[in-house]
Structure formats: structure tokens, C-alpha cells
Structure 1
């Protein structure tokens, strides 16, 4: 299963590294590898959240996520999105934006591609930070039987009883972030953050409409938890969304996936301003490995086996949102962002193993009594 899921990712990685070496020698190869590792480390939480949505789709739509979806992730977010930002910021047409990108100007030189993208960072960070903050808060504000960090999650669930709490908190955080930005950018940051909030509400509404959380009906028949787990293992599609519902879930998934890309796309320019190297490392290597990891989590039923992974992923999302909003006014190394995400996911994974062992130990005497 591992090589079946990740085999072609390793193959594409090898091709990308070879192309990078041919394009720019050993330095380009090293930069490409660094960007790939950076993207994967930043996207563990992305993979967990994606997997929870993807597990509701049939095998066909899972393949669509790995094929059409990867084109959207690579061409859309890793290549077209930065070009769009630069084009709008500098009032350039697409051809001029591409030409400027290929000049590989330094990030500190006014007028270069990297400089213009870096200059637009406050707006991008405000949009992505508010979007992810609301995603984190809505998860934590729900009443749940299972909690990971109980002393924090219990009071958050209590706050969540207040209608519109996530929106109110996000607005307060956005205003505070705009107050700290350099003069002249305040209005831009506020507008970008409000747009991020509106986008989240629209995307979340779309998810509720098509039962992303799995609490309602989809186009397929409902099944009990055990049947759903078997379906995921066998990949036969029992209880999976199909047709129109699956297509809308696919769109929802792509929007969620795109929102996680902001930090990686902007952070890449701190390492290199060469769009070819960024496309190879961030796009091909990073994005494809994240998608393979997502599918692996779905097919192995990992999220049901390790209950705290969902929580760890959303705590990582919360940390990422705070970091994005802080970077509006201060510089934070992208490695810090990646390490925090890995720490939360790793801690949640270890906690899940401990929980499973404890539950198995508690169940053993009952099984023994029944056998007698």
C-alpha cells in the first residue's frame, strides 16, 4: 500500500530534482529539495484536514483529487497565484508578469517579481490568516465527546455556545493585526481579512450543504461507523458521496487546500526568487507528496484509528493562522512554522497511540470474562 500510494510521488520527485540540476546545477537541485521538504513539513495539517473530506468521496473522486486536483494545486496556487498577485500589484498583464518572474530579481530590489510579491504579503497573510483562524475556531467551538487538550478545548467549546463567536474573535484579531501593519497598508489588510472571512463563510456553507462533516446525508446511503471503516479499507465506495455532491465536495476540498498554500508560496521567496525552482520544489515535489499522504490516510483509515490527529491538525492550523497574522508586521522564519505543525501532529499521533493502548487494556478483562 505504501509504495502503491507514494511510488509515483518518489518518481516525480526524482524527475523534478534532475530537471532542477539540468536547469541550474547543484545549487538549484539543493534549493528544489529544500522547498519540497518545506512544503511537506508545512502541510501535515493540510493532509489530515483534506483526508477527512476526501474519505467521503468515491475512489473515482479520490483519483480526481490526485490528477486534476494536483494540476490546480501546482498550476493554480504555486504558479498562477503569485503571477496574479504581482500582475495586480504592479498593474502588469500576464505576459509582462511572466517576463518579470523569469528575470529572477532579488527580493530586496524594488520592482522585481520577488519584491512585489513580498510587498503584497500583508494582504495575503491577512486573507489566509483569517480564513484559517475561523477554520480552527469553528472546530474548537464544537461540543465533542473526545478532547485532546482538555483544559483548553473545554473552555473553547463553552465559548462556542455564543452564536457568531468565531466571527467576533476573527474580527478583533484582524483589527489588532491591521493596527500593527506599516503605515499605508491598514485598509488593504482590513479588506483582505474581511474577504478571507467572507470566503470562509461561503466555503463552510458549501461544506454544510454537502455534509462535509458527515453528520447528515449524502447522495449515497448512510452506513454505521464500522461499515464506513471497512469501506475505506476496501475502497469500494460504500457510504461515499457521488455525482453532484462529490463534485461540490471536490471544489470545497480544492478551496480548503488552496488556503493552506499561502504560507508556502510566500515563504518560498525567502529561499529563492526563481519561479522555475519554486514550481519544481514547492509545486511538483511538495504538493504531490501532500496529496499522496492525504490518500494514504484515507485508505488506511488512519484518522479513525488515531482519534487525536484531527485535533492536532486543527491546533497546527490555529498556530499557522496566528503566525500568518503576525507576519503582517514581523518576520518569522518559515522553518518555525513547519516545526510547529510537525510538533502538533506528532504529539497528537503519540497521544492517540497511548489512548488506544489504554482502551485495549481496559477492554481486555471484559473480553476474558465473556470468553469464560
Structure 2
């Protein structure tokens, strides 16, 4: 088995002057891209990646951190709905849905868990939907006129881009049918190879900012790159929404950071009116397929230490920083170094909670209404299928 390379299809697309070329860069790509140039993690900035992509011929470069913030708005709202047992809300525990490797595992091996998956698309899925359904119409361009290239740390993201539930949501009047939201997915290694083929030395470039309106993001978004980061980002927002505006006592959640296979914590969310003890939310974080299978078995057997309300799962060790499409490294500490840079980017961010992102607020005001609305569900949510009978 090997990854499906799409590098030369992207090169051909970049030469097509009749279409608008858009790239969107995932959170963890920025902490590993420097390794493609023989430098330690984090030496190449997101701004230099943006500049390099523009030199390659992309007309616009967006930051998938934006749609990570959007994911938190939708997923945090969904979690609160399930905790409240709202009519139509899914069961607890709720599992995150950002990792396509994990989604594949559930659909093929644990279909009974499908109702427990968050219905939210991944940040890649949300970004593609926004590019084709919101941004392209603002540009007065048909979705078929836009080539959307997602730059990801993950080979499984290539398969996610072709999921029937995600591909058929966007229609073109030009071809009288559906078009993919994400046309191509390039891994960190593939885009690094393309930079080298075109002799673009990212470390020497002056930084450029991602394009508006899908380029503004918070420190919470970059946390998606590391195991425990989705959980931490979600809790920053869910806590404040549920408590009527109170902030988490401490922004950094050390209990769910690090490379331990399974991590857990409890978060007490106070009542908005200040009365009563509030609600205790049990959260769990697991990374690596073997650790995930073991945790699911413990949960199934009723292990008291493995009972949660909200669980983050990443198939790769370390989360997306250790994704199958990342730069190869002989450094035994590379995951720790990438993770440290993720947390450093968060700490240096002016905004560190997804709901404080002004571009996210404007998107809801102009297009989506509110998190969890019918419009949000049509664009930003998905569904899953029992594939346990498939043999290949």
C-alpha cells in the first residue's frame, strides 16, 4: 500500500489560467514544513508557506486554522446539546470526528459507535465547503471554476476528500452536477517536494499573511495539530458558552497534554445563574490505533476509569503532528519538538478562543445564522455509513 500522489495533477491545475487556484494549509503542516528543508521543527513560518504557495501559482491561500475555529463552534455547540439531552441530540459519550483514520476505523470495525460520532465535518471538510459554497459565489465564480487544494499532514485526508457524504454537497451550473469541495489533497511531503522542484527556498522568503476572509484564526485552532488539542480548544469555548461567559480557570489544560497514550480530566462547568454545583464533564484523549482499540474495550467492559462524556481520538501517535503525510525524521524527539511549537504558537496568539475570532463571528452573521443552524448543518456537518461488511 502507498499513498495516492496528486502532485502532478496539481501542477497541471496550476497551469490552467481559466480557473482560480486556492490552497488551504492545515495547522500541523506549519510546524513540520521546515524539516523538508533540513531545519528543526517550526523554523519556517506559516507566512513563509503562504509566500511560497503564491510563488507556485496559487491565487489565494487560506488557513485551515480558520475552519478549525469553525469546527469548535459547531462541535462545542453539539456537545452542549448532548449534555443537556436536547431533543434529537445524539448519545454520550460524544467522539470527535476530525481524524479520517478514526472515522474509517469506526465505520469498518465499530459501526455501533456511529451515533456517538460528532456530525461535524473535519476542518478540511468545512474549509472546502466554504470555499465552493460561500467564497466562490462572493467572487461571482461557479464552484467548477475554483480548484481547491488542501495541504495536509495526513494521507487519509485524501480519502476523506472523496467521501460521498462530502463530495455531493456542492453543485455547479456549468456541468449540471456535483463537484468536489476539495479537488486535491497534498501532504506536507508532497508540497515540500513541489517547493524543491520549483527551487523555492521557503526559509529565505518574506512572510505574507493568509488571505481574508478565511485566513484569520486563534491559538485554539493551531492546537488541532497535537493530541489533546481538539479537546482543549473545544473546552475553552464550550465552557464559556455553557457558563454564561465565564472563562476556564486556566487556559492551558496540562492533564490532556503530552504523549501519554490515554489522558483524562474532569471539567466542572458552573451554571450560568451561579446557583448549584454545575455539571462535571468527563473528558478523555487517546492517540494511536492500538491505544484506541484498548480504550474502547475498557469502555465497553464498564471500566470506571474509562467512562467519559467527550472523547478525542487521533489515529496517529502525537495526533496530526505525527501524521502519515508529515516529513520523515530520524529524530526520536521530533514529536515533542513539533508539539512544543504548537503550544508556543497558541501562547503567542492574540486570540486564544475560537468564539473570539471576529471572522468567525462575521461568517455566522452573514451566512450561517448560529452554530447548529439548518444552514450550518447543510454545509458543515456530515453523516457516516456502516462499512463493516466491506472486505477491501
- TM-score by structure 2 length? 0.29
Higher helix share: 1
Bigger Cα Rg: 1
Higher relative contact order (CA 8 A, sep 6+): 1
